[in-house]
Chains A and B, each alone.
Chain A
């Protein structure tokens, strides 16, 4: 049996230290070891994006890296997107307003992708939104209301939203 490695990682603003088997993926570590089950497993081969998390402020597929590789890094999962307990980010709120989800399974990964987009491009076009979420599969929504939600969340002050 391979030996465990020590892992220091900051997740949603909290520092953790754990011993992990090298083969444990980052998504399995987050879900099973830290109990953060908001990040989901959909394919385990890097296509569906349900496992997306922010790694040092960039969206990545957490099924495509081993937890040990994230030693010393900072991770934000869906549980860490709200500014504080009981509140929601503008995008989370817009997802609710625009019905941008149904079963909720792709939603955490989708939110990560959308937050990453808006952090870099505060007023994206619809085409940019579609590009940003093109690595996140959804089988419920057909993407339309997700695009609508991001557009709704990012409308600039003074824009008229018809």
Chain B
């Protein structure tokens, strides 16, 4: 159980999520459920080639089909809309919703067909004749960086869209003082969160009001602004309806190109238009694949296991276009040393373009691959020193009395107690039990191993990686907001300004407001504003909403509470400090019979101006807009910055067995120790942790967007891109710990990325522990049966060669 020193009324308690009431009876309101009178439907024509010049497009047969309203090419969009730009300084790497002049990846959308139904649009799409002239293509990121490689964006002059080497602290000196150093390479294969709902967007333009209404399955900061900008509309001409239920996103659903396309079509045709990606469009052309990384790491350490310094080079293949994807190399800077007291770090981050589907933000924004890379090294150091992997971690982990702890790259970790969380997880396994089980499995002839990972989960979001990676982009604001109002009847409504994709924000906000105002959480209604009447938000990214939206809701509710107290003070003729607020009623501390009820206070606020203190605004509505804690500073010259404010922590303890012949992995025991400070909604936090672990299982063992040498996506359906089912995800035990954050209202930290950030590292650790007795190891994901078979084969061959010598 979480241990929090403060007793809460509602926070931290089991509570049924309010959202569930509509979902379990099929009354969710997803973008594909939106029906608008006269709505038209879009289907896409995609490039079959990884790199090709678009010679000509003949849409005549398609346009002649009954029911077809328009066929749109990139050229028309190029003239009528502004291109989308990358998050780094590369103005020549532009992107439009449809390809212009050239197609840069197989699956890139070239032509959009609009018809009375999706089926008709697909029929017509087949009749569009596109003439291509293939061009040289490049799919290997290392080769893409070499001299003479075909350029994905010739105007940019290189396939490298971002490259920077950071040196934090005296790396060379520290290495010189080390007893040992150890180098290794790991490969994190391209995978993604692949929500079960694809991206869908419907737009409706109104000539009279000049407003474009947008309903989208969206999770994206600054989405309304970017849609408006691309469509050359003022910001207040785009109304994004954030009350659309989003069927899973986990970072991914940015859909800017989809929305610009559909918004443009809606205006052009004067009719509502909707695009629902089918699964093929989504996998290949939706631009929603994740990090695709190779890490080269060197760790410097002493013979007693003390880690001193690290060099890390991370090359990420971002595909043919860039949104915020290169920034996924930047966020991990905020936890680059993990939970360890590594003193200095050299970090080289390189984002490379190739002729592949573009990359998008994936849960953790680059932290999961980085944790995998670092934790792999910790295990290797332990093996090298013949030291227990747990002991090595304990020796190097930041202690609970060392917080706030400053890491070399400039971030302070706010609070934590890593050793205790690790201890709890080991006890829950229990370690003794799984060691015995491992030995028993080995005695049966199976390979078996235990995996450990201890990983940071930075939370709170903050876009400091933007100025870090692009000094021209001097931005430091990363705010969020909430409006709380109490109406004349005394019921409470809270308004949030962004979308929800399963995080139960309505539940979280009503719990927080209830906590402050002492009213029943289920009586508090939480609504999603639309972008024209929303207060500013930066959307649920970077595990930030418990902190930022929770903090804003608390802030607004506190203002309401204070106002009620001031009304009471005025009417009871006592000082503000002499009053106590309890259950929504206010009483004089020394004389409780002198009190005012909630109803009476509300009535005064709304109807009895003559009883309001001088200068007080009538009614009962308060907003709270605030900047991310610890935010507001630009990075230093050498790239040090406070990345995220709060730091959750997770440790995974995994027992796995491997069939030595089929090489199939079975997860036998899975324990996760988790500390995200005070949990506002424990059920929600646990749920996301289980789900994150499942994502991690997929990434470790079976998920991969594989490409042929010709740049063709080989895993573009669910038959080849393998998502874990209930048969592949084991029962999971979560044990909680609580080190509150000093930076937040209740001590809460964020945890939307929980589970995913530490599980691939732990599963890889377990597999390698199983393979080690045979002299085998595997340093790339996914660890499929074939990959493990190859690793075992390599080890046998090495052993044979060794005896032959």
Contacts and interface: CB of A to CB of B under 8 A. Distances in A.
A17 interface: no
Nearest to A113: B726
Contacts of A107: 23-24
Interface of A: 21, 23-24, 31, 35-45, 47-48, 50, 77-79, 81-82, 88, 92, 95-97, 99, 101-108, 111, 126, 129-131, 133-147
A139 B691 contact: yes
B726 A42 contact: no
B726 A37 contact: no
Contacts of B23: 101, 104, 107
A91 to B, nearest CB: 9
Given A134-B727, A144-B732, A105 B195 contact: yes
B575 interface: no
B245 A45 contact: no
A137 B717 CA distance: 14
A133 B728 CA distance: 12
A113 to B, nearest CB: 10
Contact of A103 (B27, B198, B248): B248
A134 B686 CA distance: 21
B20 A44 contact: no
B707 to A, nearest CB: 21
B36 to A, nearest CB: 13
B248 A97 contact: no
Contacts of B249: 103
Contacts of A23: 119
A37 B729 contact: no
B719 A142 contact: no
A53 to B, nearest CB: 11
A77 B20 CA distance: 17
A104 B20 CA distance: 7
Interface of B: 16-17, 19-28, 30, 32-33, 35, 119, 193-198, 245-250, 276, 278-279, 501-504, 683-684, 686-695, 717-719, 723, 725-727, 729, 731-732, 755
A96 B755 contact: no
Contacts of A24: 119
A160 B194 CA distance: 39
A104 B727 contact: no
A102 B278 contact: no
B25 A139 contact: no
Nearest to B23: A104
Contacts of B276: 41
A103 B195 contact: yes
Given A38-B25, A105-B30, A139 B686 contact: no
A141 B119 contact: no
A139 B16 contact: no
Interface of A is mostly: loop
A96 to B, nearest CB: 5
Contacts of A135: 725
A97 B16 contact: yes
Given A45-B279, A105-B28, A139-B695, A99 B17 contact: yes
B197 A145 contact: no
Nearest to A77: B26
A142 B195 contact: no
Given A102-B688, A104-B20, A145-B687, A38 B726 contact: no
Contacts of A38: 25-28
A102 B197 contact: no
A106 B25 contact: no
Given A99-B683, A102-B502, A104-B502, A139 B194 contact: yes
A69 to B, nearest CB: 17
Interface centre among A129, A140, A146 (most CB of B within 10 A): A140
Given A38-B25, A104-B23, A138-B196, 20 more contacts: A38-B26, A40-B32, A48-B196, A77-B26, A79-B26, A82-B25, A92-B25, A95-B20, A99-B683, A101-B24, A102-B684, A102-B688, A104-B22, A107-B24, A131-B726, A134-B726, A139-B195, A142-B691, A142-B692, A142-B693
Contacts of A139: 193-196, 248, 250, 691, 694-695, 723
A46 to B, nearest CB: 9
Nearest to A86: B25
A118 B756 CA distance: 32
Given A134-B727, A138-B196, A39 B687 contact: no
15 contacts: A37-B26, A42-B279, A45-B718, A78-B26, A92-B25, A99-B683, A102-B684, A102-B691, A103-B249, A103-B501, A104-B22, A105-B196, A142-B687, A143-B690, A143-B729
Nearest to B503: A102
A138 B23 CA distance: 14
Given A103-B195, A143-B690, A96 B20 contact: yes
B19 A137 contact: no
A92 B729 CA distance: 23
B20 A134 contact: no
Nearest to B21: A96
Nearest to A144: B690
Contacts of B691: 102, 138-142
Candidate in A95, A104, A105, A135 with the most chain B CB atoms within 10 angstroms: A104
B729 A96 contact: no
A121 B24 CA distance: 21
Nearest to B279: A43
Contacts of B247: 40, 103-105
Contacts of A133: 725-726
A43 B687 contact: no
Nearest to A130: B726
B732 to A, nearest CB: 5
B197 A40 contact: yes
A37 B694 CA distance: 27
B726 A143 contact: yes
Contacts of A141: 687, 690-691, 694
A78 B247 CA distance: 16
A106 B502 CA distance: 11
Nearest to A12: B26
B251 to A, nearest CB: 12
B197 A36 contact: no
Given A137-B725, A142-B691, A47 B26 contact: no
B26 A43 contact: no
Contacts of B687: 99, 102, 140-142, 145
A106 B30 CA distance: 12
A109 B182 CA distance: 50
Contact of B731 (A40, A101, A136, A144): A144
B643 to A, nearest CB: 26
A118 B591 CA distance: 59
Contacts of B732: 142, 144
Contacts of B718: 43, 45, 47-48, 137
Nearest to B118: A28
A129 to B, nearest CB: 8
A9 to B, nearest CB: 17
A50 to B, nearest CB: 5
